[in-house]
Structure 1
Amino acid sequence: MPRNSSFRIPVRCFVSTSYVNYAIPKKNKMPPRPKWLIVEEEIDEAFLKGGRGPGGQKINKSNSKVQLTHKPTGLVVTCQYSRSQEQNRKRAREILALKLDELQNPEGCRTAIVNERKTKTKQGKTKKANKKYKVLDEERMKTKEEEHEILSNFIDIDAEFDSHVKSTLNSTTTGEKGPV
């Protein structure tokens, strides 16, 4: 049976028009991923049988888990990202390079810059939220003041009624007619 175009469901795509920067440096100012820090003679590489992760039961039988030990620093990195030993080797080397870069240059390393960007973004979002709630609180206080002003302009009906009843009672006890 041929497909009929009248049965297709329209899909709408919504694009955010908010261009908030939060004072984050441009993406091209990120330092490159460090690869030059790893010297092959300084690394011990071992392949282990994996215990957890993607791959099902096969992961328990194959030596796809990679463990790299950097001899001078004693850093140990294990990686079992996928079932492929080659992908795990590549990923473990990237992680080891990032860790070595972090040890050699703590302020200017890639992870420090990424963390700084995250905190700046978080601070910007917090400022925006606080500003929003501050505006809402100001509006709420303004409406409360207006309501109080309106209510204070009205005559207190209960007090007026009580004074009318008292004057009527006083007038009946004295024999005069009260205000009607």
Structure 2
Amino acid sequence: MVDAEELEVTISKLYQEHYLDVYKFLICFSGNRNDAEDLTQEVFIRVLHHLSRYNHQSSIKTWILSIAKHVAIDHYRKKKFVSIFKEGFFKRLVSGGKQPSEELEEKELQATVHDAIASLKPDYRSIVILRGINEFSVKETSDILQCSQSKVKVSYHRALKELKKKLNVEAEEVLRHAR
């Protein structure tokens, strides 16, 4: 049996090691910093409550991100978001050498890409966020989403095809502007 002090150290360590990955995933999913912060707290509360159930079949990071996925979907269902990514949290740092017209064009393209990602069904959106934006492997994505690797591959391909059709651009271009 783990005593309270050991548990506190374990949770603190898990939080420090995985907070940023969870937060980035949730900000991608929710499109809102405040929601992402609240949901990140909810994830680690669930981790605390269910740590004894962790079965070591996958990495702890995968397990925590799987919890994050469930928290995000629960939140999405409750709120029925009209749009995700409206606030453009994926804005890249703008170099001082760009002209204002170039910056505006890039921001408009990013907003269009984020709106297109937001319009995907939740399964596709999760896969695009994990594989395309966060660059997780097929195995990590399948572990997090608790589905087969072939489903991840097929769904990712279909999601990119759908995005390509919505945006009328190449899939690689879509992901470059989503990051």
Calculate the TM-score normalised by the size of structure 1.
Answer: 0.21
Name which structure has the greater RCO, CA cutoff 8 Å, separation 6+. 2
